[in-house]
Amino acid sequence: MTNTPNNILTEMEKDERLKTISAMIDQKLRISTDDANYLYNHGSLGFLGSLANRVREAKNGNKTFFNRNFHIEPTNVCIFTCNFCSYSRLIKKREEGWEYTIEDMMNIVKSFDGKPVTEVHIVGGVLPQYDTAFYKEFFKQIKSHRPELHIKALTPVEFDYIFKKDKLTYLEGLTILKEAGLDSIPGGGAEIFHPKIRQKIAADKCTGDQWLELHRVWHQMGGKSNATMLYGHIESYEHRVDHLNQLRNLQDETGGFQTFIPLKFRNQDNDMSYLDEVTIIEDLRNYAISRIFLDNFDHIKAYWPMIGRDIAQMSLSFGVDDIDGTIDDTTKIYSMAGSEEQNPALSTKDLVNLIKGVNREPIERDTLYQVVKDFTNEVFEDDGQFKGYLSLPVSN
Ligand code: V47
Ligand code: SF4
């Protein structure tokens, strides 16, 4: 293609717009949804990284947070039919899945006795036997066994289902579960809010508006929660920006979100396996634009079992300041969907070295971002030195 004067002019105009956005970031000004769309369409990886890193360092300096938690998934069978999820397929052969009782799950909780975990993350499929009374009893038993363990549990998908079934409003249901021990709400179930996409990938579970309303009610009760976005499937950049914008608006209203976690669509063993996965470059661009756009979120988190350790480490230069998934990650949802780490487990030492390897400061936090331990000057027994990248090259 030859460059006509018009083409050259257009390129200059584009550069001008990127320059303007860059100046806005320097002045800590909020970018618009149009700006965000522009960045998705025209921002190079290097440009986006430098902007996102400025925002990250202005908010969190070099600090990189992690926490020690474990997962409990009550079941891997689900009545809903999200096409991207390997759990929904198991309902046809339910006997191949698991359906834990409270006793089964308390045995998992007890297996962590004496281990330095501060949080249990509970989320899984939706089945009728798991109702409000079930979770109330389960949370009470956890708290009576280990009162200081933070319960981060369930998503609007489960809440909406069980509260409707039990004829409770969101406020009534959440109040019951809070009294039983629920401490915070994880970010799952958000997927893509836009109804055009949600209808195609998650037709029968709660809507985007219901997801947002449930979090609004929880925040109004004084609770904290997280938010996610499942990206890299059939959505367009406009749908991602719409999703981020709805989160930013709710955060302006309530201030209850702690962290945003972009989740990369993985294509193994689900009804969307025909789709290619997006590239690592796209993952890093997406982290960066999320960091730039969500100016009222304190933290952007990478879930390393999903993207692999190397990309998680790289993401720390693209806006991410928090890495999830330590010690002995017991979740199955990702290994079933084709995550990089089939049996994700990372020792604290490995994670600390991963963070130090890119000159960041590792801080162990609790769920509410209170510092548990600053590992910046920690020397481990061998010699505490970083010995190179920790995992083999990722496969995609
Ligand atoms: O909502 C399901 C996603 C989410 C696939 O809040 C998939 O701290 C990719 O929300 N490819 C649940 N993703 C997990 C989640 C989460 C994870 C880590 C930390 C936190 C937090 C929350 O997993 C679901 C869905 O978006 N998911 N299938 C798949 N094939
Ligand atoms: Fe069920 Fe959640 Fe999977 Fe959807 S994403 S099928 S609601 S477990």
- How confident is the model at residue 149, as a pLDDT? 98
In terms of domains, do 211 and 307 share one?
A: yes
Q: What is the CATH number of the domain that holds 167?
A: 3.20.20.70
- How confident is the model at residue 343, as a pLDDT? 52
Q: Where on the phi/psi map is residue 337: left (φ > 0), alpha (ψ -120 to 50), or beta?
A: alpha
In terms of domains, do 49 and 102 share one?
A: no
Residue 377 in any domain: the answer is: no
pTM, two decimal places: 0.91
Q: Which residues of 292-318 are buried (b: 16+ CB within 10 A; e: fewer)?
A: bbbbebbbbbbbbbbbbbbbbbbbbbb
């634009």: which residue's tokens? 289
If you average pLDDT over every residue of the chain, what do you get?
A: 89
Residue predicted with more confidence, 217 or 305: 217
- How confident is the model at residue 7, as a pLDDT? 52
pLDDT tens for 35-86 read 999 999 999 999 999 999 999 999 999 999 999 998 999 999 999 999 999 8
Residue 287 in any domain: the answer is: yes
- How confident is the model at residue 96, as a pLDDT? 85
Residue predicted with more confidence, 44 or 385: 44
Q: Is the CB of 82 under 6 A from ligand 2?
A: yes
Residue predicted with more confidence, 31 or 353: 31
- How confident is the model at residue 380, as a pLDDT? 67
In terms of domains, do 144 and 52 share one?
A: no
Nearest CA owner, ligand 2 atom 2: 125
Average pLDDT over residues 20-36: 96
Q: Are 149 and 142 in contact (CB under 8 A)?
A: yes
Taking residue 251's Cβ as centre, other Cβ atoms within 10 Å add up to 20
Distances (CA, A) of 231 to 11, 197, 236, 238, 264: 28, 11, 9, 12, 5
pLDDT exceeds 90 at position 336? no
SS3 content of the chain, % helix, strand, coil (to 5): 45, 15, 40
Q: Considering just the CA atoms, what is the radius of gyration of the chain in Å?
A: 21
In terms of domains, do 44 and 106 share one?
A: no
Domain boundary among 18, 37, 58: 58
pLDDT exceeds 80 at position 375? yes
- Name the domain count of the chain: 2
Separation between Cα atoms, residue 171 and residue 326, nearest integer Å = 33
In terms of domains, do 166 and 274 share one?
A: yes
pLDDT tens for 193-237 read 999 999 999 999 999 999 999 999 999 999 999 999 999 999 999
At 378, the pLDDT band (50, 70, 90 cuts) reads: confident
Return the biggest CA–CA distance within the chain. 73
Residue 383 in any domain: the answer is: no
Give me 386's structure tokens: 């970083």
In terms of domains, do 226 and 81 share one?
A: yes
Residue 79 in any domain: the answer is: yes
Residue 367 in any domain: the answer is: yes
In terms of domains, do 41 and 145 share one?
A: no
Q: Which residues of 369-381 are buried (b: 16+ CB within 10 A; e: fewer)?
A: beeeeebeeeeee
Residue predicted with more confidence, 345 or 100: 100
- How confident is the model at residue 384, as a pLDDT? 41
- How confident is the model at residue 23, as a pLDDT? 94
In terms of domains, do 126 and 254 share one?
A: yes
In terms of domains, do 101 and 155 share one?
A: yes
- How confident is the model at residue 173, as a pLDDT? 98
Phi/psi for 204 (5° steps) reads -105, 0
pLDDT tens for 116-153 read 899 999 999 999 999 999 999 999 999 999 999 999 99
In terms of domains, do 46 and 128 share one?
A: no
Separation between Cα atoms, residue 115 and residue 237, nearest integer Å = 42
Q: Locate the ligand 1 atom nearest the alpha carbon of residue 266 and give its number.
A: 11
- How confident is the model at residue 13, as a pLDDT? 53
Angle between helices 132-145 and 102-111 (to 10 degrees): 30
- How confident is the model at residue 389, as a pLDDT? 34
Average pLDDT over residues 274-281: 96
Residue predicted with more confidence, 192 or 384: 192
Nearest CA owner, ligand 1 atom 15: 188
- How confident is the model at residue 346, as a pLDDT? 74
Taking the centre of ligand 2 as the mean of its atom positions, its distance from the CA of residue 202, in whole angstroms, is: 8
Domain range for 176 is: 63-371
Ligand 1 first shell, C-beta below 6 A? 84-85, 186-189, 191, 226, 228, 230, 261, 263, 265-266, 270, 303, 324, 333, 337
Percentage of the chain exceeding pLDDT 90:
77
| Ligand having the closest approach to the CA of 88 | 2
Average pLDDT over residues 157-166: 97
Q: Are 349 and 380 in contact (CB under 8 A)?
A: yes
| Ligand having the closest approach to the CA of 160 | 2
Residue 128 in any domain: the answer is: yes
pLDDT exceeds 50 at position 2? no
Separation between Cα atoms, residue 197 and residue 241, nearest integer Å = 13
Residue 393 in any domain: the answer is: no
Phi/psi for 310 (5° steps) reads -65, -45
In terms of domains, do 130 and 157 share one?
A: yes
Residue 391 in any domain: the answer is: no
Q: Are 151 and 143 in contact (CB under 8 A)?
A: yes
Q: Are 301 and 259 in contact (CB under 8 A)?
A: yes
Give me 275's structure tokens: 């789709």
Dihedral sign from CA coordinates of 121, 125, 131, 137: negative
DSSP calls for 184-228: EE-STT-S---HHHHHHHSTTS--HHHHHHHHHHHHHTT-EEEEE
Q: Is the CB of 337 under 6 A from ligand 2?
A: no
Dihedral sign from CA coordinates of 259, 264, 270, 275: positive
In terms of domains, do 15 and 163 share one?
A: no
